[in-house]
Structure 1
Amino acid sequence: MNVSSRARTGWRLLKGPEPWTRRRIAGEAALALALALMAGAVGLFGGDPLRITAVALAVVVLSLLRRSLPVGVLLAAAALSVPASEATPLLLVAAWSAGRRIIGAGRALVAFSAAFVIYAVLGLITLWPIPQLFLIAVFSTLFFLAVAVVPGLTSRYWSQRRTLLRAMQEHNAQLLRERAMVAGQARLRERQRIAQDMHDSLGHQLALISVHTGALEVDPELTGRQREAVGVLRQASVAAMHELREVVGILRDGVEAPVGPDGARPAPRGTAGIEALVTAARAAGNDVGLRGSGEPRPLAAAADHAAYRIVQEALTNAYKHAPGAPITVELRYEPDSFVVEVVNGIVDRAAADQAGEVVSGGQGLTGLHERARLVGGMVHTGPTDDGGFRVAGVLPYGTADAATFVDAPDDFRQQSPALPLGDGGPVVDWNIAEKELGMSGRSRGGGVALGCGIAVGAVVLLAVAVGVGLFFLIGSADKGMIDPSAYDRIKVGTSEAEVRKELPSGDTVLVSGLAGKGPAEPEGAQCLVLMSSETGDNVNTEPVFRFCFKDGKLIEKKSYDVAR
């Protein structure tokens, strides 16, 4: 294997399964640098630059490998944190990554158990002989729980919770899509049924009207005025047929009706068709005036159609409820909106009585309000000061610069206000598990809060462990510490029994590791090393007293300093 192949293999090992974006590179570099600086700052008290550098480099390498090799880094961090306590922050970070990335609860349990065994065994080897084994075991277990197990379990819970929420959202989005499909199919079937009924009933009646008015129009006994009125009726019936065909096509297929077999096209259903409405009304004998102001501007298709329907419905109401009254249609292109206004004058009571009772569905004006609302506009209806009636609509222009006057509310409230899983995430039904699914929308902020909570919990648990350890250490301090005056009172040659009565037993962890660090012990002697109750002049050394016994007597006592 050449150098380039080894480099590629090493890079794949370092890269892991996740892509290295710029943000991740910056974050990984900052974290590795922070861990190395913490390890170096703590290691400065040891005074060995080579050791500090080696530990810092090991921390940097393990930090970069923790994503691709979570188990190996966890075990290595546990082993490194025993001889080099300054690498303890790395153990916390490695436990967090391992808890999140180890697949399977069994593998995670084995990995953390192995890390604890390595930590405990290396601790025993480093501190052996240990006078108070139970105290050290309890303290080490609590420390490992606080630094490794708690972050690992919390990270694993957080990761599994996010996975569960994502699965819930995907399942919920699938249910929404299926529900929408079922509702769409039901609406399509109902629309087809309505379209068929309209075609069979209204189409037949309009065809009869068109045929009879066409025959009546050529009747020689009619006067010119009557023939003109009949022509208007025939044209109205033909236009109604075209509109019915268009509506049926939209209901059935969702598209406008195509050109008829006779080549006739539907009349314009926008502002371009308003003039034709006015012309037809005049031909029917109504006094209708049309005025316009402002520079014409294009409207959105829905708004353009709404303007046509407002004029059509207003003229129809005027025909029904104010026959013979003058009607004014005004189109105003304002800077920010399009205004269409239809005003009829005072009702001619004689003409109204002659017209008789009119048939009205009572939903025309209500439909105008709803139609205008859906395009972001509004409609005003009401009497005028002179006793007439006015219908005025205010509609926005094109969608690019539309001025929305009325917001259409979300009647169904089926969508979350934000996509929880980034761009293109599934639409969430806000009625299902609202609190749980809503929390996923704040996953980043929740992760920060969770991380802070874990840190606080780990610090509290660590403080408890330190408190327990200090309690036992302070209680056993008298077993490994004497005053310098006591050292001076003891004379060489005194029997071992008398000397041991005046000295503490030394059965404490405080003196573990002090033996063998001073001058060579006398051959065949058993030595007791105790700490001094007074501190030395150098912060890097610890003053100790050593008493060596042989054949039941004290044969040597020495006072010296050992490195901390």
Structure 2
Amino acid sequence: MTTTGEERARGLTGPWWWARWRSAALDGSLALMSAVECGAEGVPFARDAGIPLWVGVLFGVIAGSALLVRRKWPIAVVLVAIAITPAQMGFLMGVVGLYTLASCELPRRIIGALAGMSLLGTMIVTFVRVRQSMARGDLTLGDWFEPFAAVTTSLGLTAPPLLFGLYVGARRRLMESLRERADSLERELQLLAERAEERAEWARNEERTRIAREMHDVVAHRVSLMVVHAAALQAVARKDPEKAVKNAALVGDMGRQALTELREMLGVLRAGEDVVGVRRGAGVPLAAVGEAAAAAASRAVAEDGPCLSELDDLIGQSAAAGMAVELLVVGEVRSYAAQVERTAYRVVQEALTNVHKHAAGAKTHVRLAHRVSEIAMQVENEAPPEPGSASAARLPSGGNGLVGMRERVVALGGVFVSGPTDAGGFRVSAVIPAA
């Protein structure tokens, strides 16, 4: 499992309440210090203003306590600090308020305006106080000292907190931006990992379906011919022993061919398992292992599958089983991609198997057309001798043959059509692009 940036930040700062209490404690401490400072400064202010001392102290304490709300209302804190500047109060509050204001998410023009007001107010008050001190004789420096003291004091109380606050605010925004980017990247990585798992699962399911179609074609056709020959063998065993021996030999050949093709299919599966073992041992992710196994199995099936050159043998096997079948080839014979030839072969094979199952004894026509950019095939059987009757061998049917043929052809961008004919037979047609 992965953790987001927010969870990492929470883990570094402690429980959820820790940051809040820490901020509250800091603000409370600063407000207490400011209140003590302003209360102490309220004593000379009360004497100069001619008011009771407790009134000046109370006024200073109340004004200094404004730092408690510096995070929520930083503008108000700065305005209070500017307002009590003529009374020579709130130096700590002014410094902290300017820092808080500069570090907040406020428009720069507002920050600049308030900072300028604080600078101007501090400069005027300092200038007036220094002149009054020189007039009383407390200071005996030249006239140059008045503007110098006013400028340096105002800049010293305004510029450092303002610049430091701007720096802290910019750094905070940068860290938040980086944290958001990190969280976004983690979410994208999680999404990519989920999509990779989905692609791997899709590849595995697709390969299972492909292998299931291959095994269905192998088993259904070979075993159907074996059952037909076995039924014929049972019928002629006593009447024609020589024909019975011939049929028994054909059944044996069919069985051996079925076993050979099944071994090839199992070899494909073992090759895929070997790829999985090697990739897992090398530390490759499971999604990549699944896709690699599916690709390896697909390549093995493509290399070991049948081709159109074996079509004559397929027709001969059906003819040996008692089917009246004829093959018509139109166009210039040429080679195609392995997938195209294998799919064309399987369509004809499955169509002949269906004739054995559902229209035993019906005459069948197989047409193969080599065109410029495609190859077309059609398997059509006439009406069976006894309409509505199934094969004498009572071959079972799972109903997946036509579905498998359609999936094969459509996967290559071709067109598949099947259905009964007006004469009572059945027709299977497919067109596959040559490329």
TM-score of the aligned structures, taking structure 1 as reference length: 0.35
Higher helix share: 2
TM-score of the aligned structures, taking structure 2 as reference length: 0.45
